[in-house]
Amino acid sequence: MSDGVKLEQMGVPTVTVCSTAFAGAARSQAAGRGMDDLPVVEIPHPMHSASHQAVTERAEAAISNLAAALTARQAATAIEAAARLPDVLELNTDPVALEEYFFAQGWTDGLPITPPTRAAVDAMLAHTARDRNETLGPIPPRMRVVTLEKIAINAVMAGCKAEYFPVVLAAVEAVLDENCRLYGIQTATNNTTPLIIINGPAIKRLGFNAAGNVFGPGNRANASVGRALQLVLRNLGGDLPGETDMATQGQSGKYTFCIAENEADSPWPPFHVEQGYAATDSTVTVIGASPGHNLFTYGCETGAEILDHFIGGLTALGHNNVIFPTGPLLVIGPEHAGVLARDGFDKPAIRNAIFERARIPLSRFAARTVRGLHHRRSRWFEFYPNADHIGVADDASHVSIVVAGGAGIHSQFVPASFSYHPVTRVVRFK
């Protein structure tokens, strides 16, 4: 839809063909880009698993609709804009009534919110030197330009403390960077969503959890900052499940997905220092990510044995780093990191080992998958034109490593996708 709108704006007649399951999302996305009458021709769903005969019949049936859509623009379909609300709402202050009102408006993620009173929003904005009316955006998929005040409202709703607001702002600015590829993350059938990684003094200053249960519940900073970003994407960007977010199954990270690096228990330089920032900088990094795959090294005693297990987990079929060239993220537990460092493995050595050894023979894939990989992972085949295998990264530098978690012999392989690479922003405290 994004390409279709751009072509139409250039004066090139365009029609988008999509299956019935995605027609509503297509029209909504086109409307968000200011063209709610962009022609859409629907074909029955599904196509991927349909027989050759069924595909041919559907294509033939669509021909007349394609011709009509290219030659005669139809009236815009009913994508009605919601009536503009007043700048301030005077609501029933009964807690139950407030919750039900926000649920009825579709302004929550399905969980209760903190009411964004004027006092609470002002307290949030007091933690930045920037003007409340400063704009950020546009935020996909509906491409709305929003103010800092609107972001603060959603941070209050998410349950953030006021002092978390600079972190929320940095996260929003990071996902809007072109290298994050937010539009693709939001609108695909994949289960990807932005993962937030916190580094630097902000971890201790604001109480982020970097240790045990780092991906789990129980910490307000992690939970509310991750949720604030998701509410911004939902309420301000229009990222709505079943309307613009067409994820087949989704994931729990679409509620909140925020961790901090366990710098204190890491034998290696922190992630943000590797990116060129000072250890004294507080940073937020975002990357499109799927749920992590647990790497349990039962019985392993050496760094080499642990690394063998990591590589085994990375060479399974079906994860996103087979298809996407982003490069995988390893969230290594402190115990694993300690053994690896003891046995001479630093982060560059781990990256090189994964790049060289985490390669999957093409013979394990279906023929159509191999043809698709030559397109989706074209850079790999530029480097290795006669390769009979494919790696999980195009270069060792594309493997990202963060140390996080508590006691235990567990790490996680987090498949990353859509993003060109991790995007980092400095947190600007007032």
Instruction: Find which of 29-33, 54-58, 330-334, 381-385 is predicted with most confidence, using mean pLDDT.
Output: 330-334
Q: Which of 93, 111, 95 shows the shortest CA–CA distance to 103?
A: 111
Please check whether residues 165 and 254 belong to one and the same domain.
Answer: yes
Query: Against a cut of 0.85, is the pTM above it?
Result: yes
86 occurs within a structural domain: no
**Could you say which of 71, 106, 125 is where a domain stops?**
71
Please check whether residues 124 and 162 belong to one and the same domain.
Answer: yes
pLDDT in tens, 370-411: 999 999 999 999 999 999 999 999 999 999 999 999 999 999
**Could you say which of 36, 56, 71 is where a domain stops?**
71
Mean pLDDT of 173-195: 96
Please check whether residues 243 and 357 belong to one and the same domain.
Answer: no
145 occurs within a structural domain: yes
How far apart CA 33 and CA 16 sit, in angstroms, is 15
Please check whether residues 299 and 243 belong to one and the same domain.
Answer: no
Mean pLDDT of 10-29: 86
Please check whether residues 139 and 18 belong to one and the same domain.
Answer: no
Please check whether residues 129 and 229 belong to one and the same domain.
Answer: yes
Tell whether the model's pLDDT for residue 109 goes beyond 90: yes
Q: Percentage of the chain with pLDDT > 90? A: 77
280 occurs within a structural domain: no
pLDDT band at 85 (very low <50, low <70, confident <90, very high): confident
Higher pLDDT, 341 or 62: 341
322 occurs within a structural domain: yes
169 occurs within a structural domain: yes
Please check whether residues 235 and 143 belong to one and the same domain.
Answer: yes
Tell whether the model's pLDDT for residue 90 goes beyond 60: yes
Q: Which of 7, 20, 28 shows the shortest CA–CA distance to 238?
A: 28
Average confidence score pLDDT of the chain = 93
How far apart CA 157 and CA 134 sit, in angstroms, is 20
Angle value at C-alpha 281, between 225 and 414, nearest 5 degrees: 50
Q: Minimum mean pLDDT among 20-24, 110-114, 321-325: which range?
A: 20-24
pLDDT band at 138 (very low <50, low <70, confident <90, very high): very high
The residue range of the domain holding 320 is: 293-414
Tell whether the model's pLDDT for residue 76 goes beyond 50: no
Q: Minimum mean pLDDT among 4-18, 339-353, 408-422: which range?
A: 4-18
88 occurs within a structural domain: no
Please check whether residues 239 and 365 belong to one and the same domain.
Answer: no
Higher pLDDT, 74 or 76: 74
Q: Minimum mean pLDDT among 45-49, 102-106, 247-251, 365-369: which range?
A: 45-49
197 occurs within a structural domain: yes
Q: What is the pLDDT of residue 78?
A: 47
pLDDT band at 335 (very low <50, low <70, confident <90, very high): very high
When divided into structural domains, the chain yields a total of 3
How far apart CA 371 and CA 271 sit, in angstroms, is 35
Please check whether residues 406 and 297 belong to one and the same domain.
Answer: yes
Q: Minimum mean pLDDT among 51-65, 199-213, 222-236, 331-345: which range?
A: 51-65
How far apart CA 203 and CA 199 sit, in angstroms, is 6
Tell whether the model's pLDDT for residue 120 goes beyond 80: yes
Whether residue 220 contacts residue 161, with contact meaning beta carbons closer than 8 Å, is answered with yes
pLDDT in tens, 33-48: 878 788 888 899 988 8
Tell whether the model's pLDDT for residue 61 goes beyond 90: no
Please check whether residues 376 and 240 belong to one and the same domain.
Answer: no
The two beta strands, 329-332 and 258-260, are: unpaired
Tell whether the model's pLDDT for residue 345 goes beyond 60: yes
Q: What is the pLDDT of residue 35?
A: 83
235 occurs within a structural domain: yes
Q: What is the pLDDT of residue 34?
A: 79
pLDDT band at 32 (very low <50, low <70, confident <90, very high): confident
Tell whether the model's pLDDT for residue 74 goes beyond 70: no
pLDDT in tens, 268-293: 999 999 999 999 999 999 999 999 99
How far apart CA 222 and CA 255 sit, in angstroms, is 11
DSSP state of 359: E
Tell whether the model's pLDDT for residue 415 goes beyond 50: yes
pLDDT band at 70 (very low <50, low <70, confident <90, very high): confident
Please check whether residues 240 and 116 belong to one and the same domain.
Answer: yes
Element containing residue 7 per DSSP (H, E): helix 2-9
Q: Which of 379, 413, 373, 382 shows the shortest CA–CA distance to 394?
A: 379
Whether residue 272 contacts residue 283, with contact meaning beta carbons closer than 8 Å, is answered with yes
Tell whether the model's pLDDT for residue 191 goes beyond 50: yes
Higher pLDDT, 55 or 388: 388
Please check whether residues 58 and 101 belong to one and the same domain.
Answer: no
Higher pLDDT, 78 or 59: 59
